[in-house]
Amino acid sequence: MSFNAIKWALKQDAPTYPKIVLANLAQRANEANACWPSYELIAKDTGMSRRHVIRSVKKLLELGLIERKHRFKSHENQSNVYVLKVTKKPALKVVGGGDYESLGGD
């Protein structure tokens, strides 16, 4: 579980149901901000229908908040991998002068 991903998800400007799905994905995300729950599992966790989850994922893709990668095993569909587009801030904040780039800033 990535607390940074959950914090990020809750701050996003998204409609209610897609935001609930985003928070659910964030709750499952690993340190690479990736997870692979099935639509059925997300539906069970959120109390939504499978179809509503699919629509919410589509909206999150349109908003650019997640990336979806399809997985296959022996030509059979597996659950999708979802990567949250978590924006990262520098670990250090420079206060008053200093070489920001040397601290890993962009």
* Tens-place pLDDT, residues 56-78: 999 999 999 999 998 767 777 77
Contact 67, 48 (CB under 8 A): no
CATH fold label, 3-103: Arc Repressor Mutant, subunit A (1.10.10)
- How many CB atoms are closer than 10 A to CB 27? 16
Question: What's the pLDDT band for 90 if we cut at 50, 70, 90?
Answer: very low
Q: Where are the domains of the chain?
A: 3-103
Task: Looking at 30-104, list the stretches that DSSP marks H as alpha helix, in order from N- to C-terminal side.
Answer: 39-46, 50-62
Give the residue from 6, 2, 4, 23 showing the smallest Cα distance to 88.
Answer: 4
